[in-house]
Structure 1
Amino acid sequence: MLLLQPLIGLLLISLAHGDCPILFSPVYVVVEYGKSFSVNCSSTGETDQFGLSWEKSNETIENNEDIFISVNVTDWERTLTCYMYSNEALCSQNLPVTIYKTPDNVSISIVNHRGPMIAGQQYELQCDVHDVAPVTELAVKWYKGQTLLDQTTFTEDSKTPVNVNTTLLIRPDRADDGAQYRCEAQLDLGEDGPQYPTKSLEALSAEVHYKPKHSSSTETIIQKDVVTLNCTVKANPAPVYIWYSDHLKEEISSSVLQSSTLSPGNYTCNATNSLGTDTKVFIIKSELHLSVENQCPVQLNPQRAVVRYNGSVAVNCSALVSHKGIGWEASEGAVPKTSNSLIIWRVSHLTEWDIQPFCYINYERQCQVELPVIIYKTPDNVSISIVNHTGPMIAGRQYELQCDVHDVAPVQYLTVKWYKGQTLLDQTTFTENSKTPVNVNPTLLIRPDRDDDGAQYWCEAQLDLGAEGPQHPPKETSAHINITVYYAPNIQFCNSWSPLTGTSLDSYPLNINSVLGNPRPIISWRHKASSVNSSLPLTKFDSGQYEIIASNVLSNFSCSINITVEYPPELNCSENYEVKEKTLFQFPCIADGSPKPKLSLRKNGNIIQHELFFPNWTHSGQYQVIAENQRGTINSTVTINILHDSLNYFAIVALVLGLLVFFLILVVIVLLLRRNKRGHYDLQSVKQYEMQPLGNGGPA
């Protein structure tokens, strides 16, 4: 096993482009800081040795096959490197690892303000997110109640935890009193990341102060109805009430009066708080058949006139009793006193904004009834614009739209509605009490996102004049303003790819829906930390892990892709091969291809089950070797000579020779035995062996 330091040195050796066919499973990792993950490293090619190195630690593993490792993440900057070496050359790939940490705390506050807000004024909310990583994957979402108002993303490139503070501008109105604002911090890391956002611990409850405003400025009541004159109006702080009338002998400060105890006539109620005053007039009338004592016995029809500026108007005044004269007093269209029972106030072109006509009658005394007149004028022009900005907007940033409404009256009946496409976004009303035309310039704060690119915003000015007004409320609409939203690139799908040799990286299956960004991102590629010309054809040596990068003027987005270059089988065969007899058959060719080719052997058109093929000397001859995969088929004809087993040959020869020797020895023994049975004798003289007597002294 190699030591870590020599390995790091060897990692500096660089092979030719595309010669590092390392594959990770999974291809990238999303892991929470302090937790562990597991990864498998393998290769698409042949290798002598694998290794995994967990940088800045002593964890190094080697094997000659694929490697599996489980790692505990306690350092933000470590990298996991898989390396392989073969024939004294080495290459490596780094595993893309995203380490995340959810925020310790999320809180919401109002910037530079304490206490109640004032309706119509602008305030800034701030969301503080503490100790979160990576901030590039963070989205802060703003809510009012359950309604999503806006969201903020971040372009800062930081792997380690940071604190972020994002703000939202709001302009609360009376309906927002008591509203709950909150923010959420969510890391968008896919299925392997956290699935639930971190919410602000406490919602911000908004207290909004606003002035009183009645839904209508006048109300007519028939005296027989047992109802109250109810001046109660919603306001914050709560208003105080004061009633005024010629028929009241003392000042009344309650919000209601009982109509059954009051004389016919006009009763004015002022509702006042620290922000302003709103007035409502109650008109009490008696029924026609009731005694007209202490009442003004005339009937107006209609009881309230709504007239377009420079338009015509006609109102009847009918006497309900015998009289000594009836007439109209007005700065325009006055009608002299007459004895008729019905007189008409008529003006062909009403141009006096503050006209106050009244019908009077003389009977036992003189009395009068005023006619409420509302003169309206639709705007000369309604236009929409972006305040202090031209050109494309940036997603996540806040912008202000302004609707300019010119020369409209009366403004207290005006509603400006804001639209995006056909969706009503908001509406603005006005508390100013003015009879003459004014210009108003309400604004709307927006924070567009990528989905708003190409959206159309517009505003509409509408006068709501009540039942006596036009059947269809008059309205004027601005032209539409089209916005262009620039947003950072994003690649929706990063899938492994298996192209055929000769295909370029430009052919990677990206479509308009998988790569997002505006301006349209430029696609580039990197392999082994080096830029790659995406128009060049891929070769069979170019398999490995690639980084695809989408870039525009805002930022870059990248992801890792495993590319396996596929190619048809290739066979490297010699014309003749010699194979030992009765040994397991080994293919006589070197086969290459991706996917790995399947090999088969044929002789005379018949398939040979080569896995169980033990050839003998009779199997010599011509064979066809076939390699095939999904990309193609190739074959090669070879001549195979089956060699006799020399050891067996010599054993047979030795056995034969041994037997020959044995038979020769046996023959000799048989012949000798036969000779002994026949006999063979030597005859000698008896005298030669006759015994002689011994003398006493020896020889003479």
Structure 2
Amino acid sequence: MEFFTLLQQHLWITLLCFADFYVSVRDCTVEMEPVIDPPSLVVKYGDPASAICRTQHNAFITGWEAPVEATRAAGSHQAVWEVSSLTNWSLAKGITCYGIYVGYAECLAILSITIYKIPERVTLSHSDPVLKGAENRLEFSLECDVKGVAPVENLTVIWFRGHTELGRSEFRQLYWSDDVTVRANLSITDSTEDNRASYSCAAHLDLDTADPIPDTRSNSILLEDLYKYAREVSGGDVRLTEVNYTGDANPGVMEPSGELPSVGNSREIILGVVVVVVLVLILAVVVLVWWKCFKKLAAYVSKPLNTNMESFHLLQQLLWISPLCSADFYVSGQRCRGKEPVIDPPALVVKYGGPATATCRTEYNTTRMGWEATMGASSKENTQQLVWSVDSVTDWSLKDGILWLAIYEYKPCTTHLPITIYKIPENVALVLDEARPLLEGHEYLLECEVQSVAPVNNLTVIWFREDTEQKRSGYSQFRIEGDRDQNVTVRANLRIIASREDNRASYSCAAQLDLDTAAPIPDTRSNSILLEVLYKPTIVSPSEDVSLTEGDRLELNCTADANPSPTYEWRRDNKTLENNNSSSTLLIESVEMDSAGVYECIVSNTQGEVSVEIRVDVRNNPRGIIIDKPRGIIIDTPRAIMIGEVVVALVVFLVLVVLIRRKHCKRNEPHQ
């Protein structure tokens, strides 16, 4: 297999296509091109970085080709690339998003990445000053040393005399992929009276970032340390000379104007000749290796396939690893058109540990047909149908799908079966970050932990208050622990501001897997957390001002909502009422004239207090109403006297009537 390893390296490294060698990108249409969000990245060295690649239509593999965190997602139209700390300078060359479609058309998109690094320090030094000329003008040179900066092509060294800019040194024609040290020189001829003036330089990075990158300023050099002679001249004569560049590679030299010196042109020509020679040699080696490889491959394919699938492994390395196809070897290419097999079902969504099966059929006779898989691999000669079946899917590598291969007269054709393996969470737990009870108005964090779930890209965490959905958290808001190619533990957070409405309310979360299964996958619900919120009192039903008559019954109310339960204090005209001091209701059975005044109800608990004032007016009783308190009988004195007089008169009248009637009866009796 050495020649296949060598072939793989050359097929990936070179992008040259010639003769019958073609890249399947030629079958890619504009509608099939991947979309990258964001389209480019400008990242500070050591900071996190992420991007999302989305493919269209029926792509069965979406992935990222990158030096670090390369990833691929089978059966998905989306792949996320992210690093927690960007420290690999090779990423500055950009990374590639790819989508592979049915028929093995491959579409690519490049994510441009600019990695910048703020200089570790900027130092200004000077040469020994020399007096020259009849006017004793002072000549010296300044050197600005910028250490650990990137990218150098976006760097500008700015020269200052005091706060006045003298000039700029740029490095637009230089390119290094990592951080470097840059040195720029400035020659000065100065004669001035201002010996308190100073020189300095600054490193400026011109990049398209959300916030401007602050310039890094050097130390200052005072002229009073250099000048011993003063002359009356309006200003110094300043001219820029060559800027020397040193880095991790060979140093280059350039003028601030951007034109390379003559020596640089010679070097460029020599370098170009060397590059051309090297490319010609590489091309010759690649052609030779390809020719030998294809001859050996033809010899292997002409042999009958054995049960251990060695030839299938051989073909897989060529057909999967390399996007180049040539000679008589095609991957669902021109020679396979019209002979594409049918896989039933076209894609699988399988529960971890559950069974899986698929059938591949073709209308044409095959020399051999086989399934290439880490579980259930099989092959059969002279057949038009082959079943792949496993009793329990426990190998996570199957999530990349499996390969079906058929050989028609020793010409191989392949088809891919995408497989999604899902795992229902073992447990979903909700925890609160602080001890209870909570305080009204304070912020708290609820954490939902979903244990052993897959695939994480299809997971959604749903937050509930009682049975009402509050929010949904997706992939970008997860903290993930474990191998993302297998089952992982996911943590999501919900921030809440505690309020009195949350008191005695329950919160919970649920893990939802959104997959195209025959029956919906039930959500996995967490435990519920019953919140207790402490809050100060609020009076909910205060009594209004009242006007009564002497002897009436007075009842005042100031019921309050509070947690913990509040205490009540009643005052009248700023004096505490001793007999009614612990209830929300104040009761006086019979008011008197001195019961009038302003009543104040003060409600308090550990979280604060609140009060309300109620005015009570008492009118005099002109009818002399008396309240019999023990028996609760009310007697109106004038009315009682009147009633008594009537009763007496009636009794006297009845007595007179009786006497007169008796006297009349005696007169009418017969005499004996």
What TM-score does the superposition give when structure 1 sets the normalisation length? 0.42
The structure richer in helix per residue is 2
**Which structure has the bigger radius of gyration?**
1
What TM-score does the superposition give when structure 2 sets the normalisation length? 0.43
